[in-house]
Amino acid sequence: MERTASAPVILAPSVLAADFGRLAAHTTEALDAGAEWLHIDVMDGHFVPNISFGAPVMRGLRAMAEERNVPLDVHLMIEEPDRYLKDFAEAGAALITVHEEACPHLHRTVQAIHDLGCRAGVAVNPATPLVTLEEIAPDLDLVLIMSVNPGFGGQAFIESAVDKVRRCRQMLGGMGSRALIEVDGGVTPDNTPALLRAGADVLVAGSAVFRGDVAANVQAFRQSAASAGRQVA
């Protein structure tokens, strides 16, 4: 099911790729250029082989995000995410995404996210089949398709993710779900048209936004989206 130009594309720069020495200024550049969300990748060194940051860093961005009405899109690549949901909600998360692979009681976790007043997403790793989401999909606000194996920025895009997005769109459409589809990992202006035609709504990009001229990079995503008949929101 292809998306039409009436379905806007959300560009969500990954803060993990920003310059932490000037984090607020660097992320502001992306927002000034037209990015819609800020994506917060949280890693614990257990679920994935890397450590990033936690709720205190988010709190440092919260005032700027609230002033601009920019959602903080939190992606928890951590074990036992239920222990930290409240911390991230209180730090300003608008949307919290957990991994299917990390949640033995996924429905309970999703309900807890909603009870905290946040939108709920579930991510699946490249080797995790979409069938694992069939029962929880009606309760979701977002499905995150990982297009790299999580843990490090700058990895090469896994091409089979395009078909996975297409199948996810068909699955959600078949059950009448209005959940957004987000793609994270190796997303660039080059693979953007294929992802959007497959049905993606939210593009997470780290290096492709923050490396070099941020405004020019965001404009490249805009032009790429337009070539697929979609517009960045």
- For the chain, list the domains and their CATH numbers: 10-227 (3.20.20.70)
73 belongs to the catalytic site: no
Considering the candidates 44, 73, 141, 184, report the single residue annotated as catalytic: 184
Considering the candidates 32, 41, 44, 163, report the single residue annotated as catalytic: 41
Closest by CA position to 133, among listed 97, 85, 96? 97
Distance (Å, whole) CA 196 – CA 204:
13
Residue 172 is encoded by which pair of tokens? 């959600």
Could you give the strand order of the β-sheet that contains 202-205, starting from the edge strand earlier in sequence?
Answer: 10-13, 202-205, 180-184, 142-146, 119-124, 93-99, 72-77, 38-43
Say what percent of the chain tops pLDDT 70: 96
Burial class (CB in 10 A: 0-12, 13-18, 19+), 131: exposed
184 belongs to the catalytic site: yes
Q: What is the pLDDT of residues 165-207, one digit of tens each?
A: 999 999 999 999 999 999 999 999 999 999 999 999 999 999 9
Residue 218 has pLDDT above 50, yes or no: yes
